[in-house]
Structures are given as C-alpha cells and as structure tokens.
C-alpha cells in the first residue's frame, strides 16, 4: 500500500476515506487503488454496490487525470462517465487501475478497469474529465 498516496486521496476526497479506499500506486501512466468488500457496502446477495465501484473508479481516474494536467491547469472535474459492470464482487477487494487514453488542453479521457482478487474483470469505466 502507498500510505502517502492514500493520505492524499483521503485529504483531497474525504469520501474515499469513508469508503476505505487504499492507494496501491500512483504515477502519470497508472493509478491503482482498492476497496475491501464489506457488508455495509453491499446490495442484495452480498454483492458490492455498483455505486461503490463507480466511486472507486471515479476517484482513481480523477487522480490519474490530475497527475496528467497540462501546465497552468489547477484541477479537473468529471463531465462524463460510462460504466460497464461485468461481474459481482462478493468478497476480498475490488482493485481499480486507471490510465490516460487522451491528455488534451481541455479534456482528459481516462480508462479504468476494476478487477477482483482473482484477476477477473469486474467493471470497465471510461471517463472524460474537464481541465480547469
């Protein structure tokens, strides 16, 4: 775990602390974070809630976009997000890996994959972040 990265996530996005997000690594090319399965984060059938997975992806992608900001920019905000859910998470961790697809002056597009502990693809998220 990247303790400094986790602290930064929690400081800049307090919601991630409430969810228990842990940062595994952070660099311009790849940001990885995870969240542990917990019954309070589930829906029927002990399945991690889709909103939790989307929050994990959004937070991870936001940091990826921030690390890729063009000179003079101060931040980003999500303006579009598309999520495809492929399988449930019923234990262990959901791990998000975010990489930039396009880094422009006005928008940054980030692709995030979420995998379970067995390496199976749980969700795929494509986001557009406006540069501010």
* Predicted TM-score of the model (pTM): 0.96
User: Nearest CA to 76 among 99, 103, 108, 28?
Assistant: 108
In 3D, which of 119, 51, 122 has the Cα closest to residue 84?
122
Separation CA 80–CA 25 (nearest Å)? 24
> Percent of the chain beyond pLDDT 70?
100
In this prediction, residue 89 has a pLDDT band, given cuts at 50, 70 and 90, of very high
Q: Which domains does the chain have, with CATH numbers?
A: 3-131 (3.10.129.10)
Residue 121 near residue 113 (C-beta atoms within 8 A):
yes
Q: Are 97 and 112 in contact (CB under 8 A)?
A: yes
pLDDT, residue 90, reads 97
* pLDDT at residue 15, as a whole number: 95
Q: Tens of pLDDT along 17-63? A: 999 999 999 999 999 999 999 999 999 999 999 999 999 999 999 99
């Amino acid at each position: 775990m990247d303790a400094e990265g986790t602290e930064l996530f929690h400081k800049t996005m307090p919601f991630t602390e409430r969810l228990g997000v842990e940062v595994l690594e952070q660099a311009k090319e790849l940001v990885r974070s995870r969240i542990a399965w917990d019954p309070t984060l589930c829906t029927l059938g002990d399945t991690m809630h889709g909103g939790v997975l989307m929050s994990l992806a959004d937070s991870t992608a936001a940091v990826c976009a921030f690390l890729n900001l063009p000179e003079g920019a101060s931040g980003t905000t999500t303006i579009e997000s598309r999520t495809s859910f492929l399988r449930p998470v019923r234990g262990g961790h959901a791990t998000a890996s975010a990489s930039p697809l396009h880094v422009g002056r006005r928008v940054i597009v980030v692709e995030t994959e979420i995998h379970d502990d067995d390496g199976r693809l749980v969700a795929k998220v494509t986001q557009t972040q406006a540069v501010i």
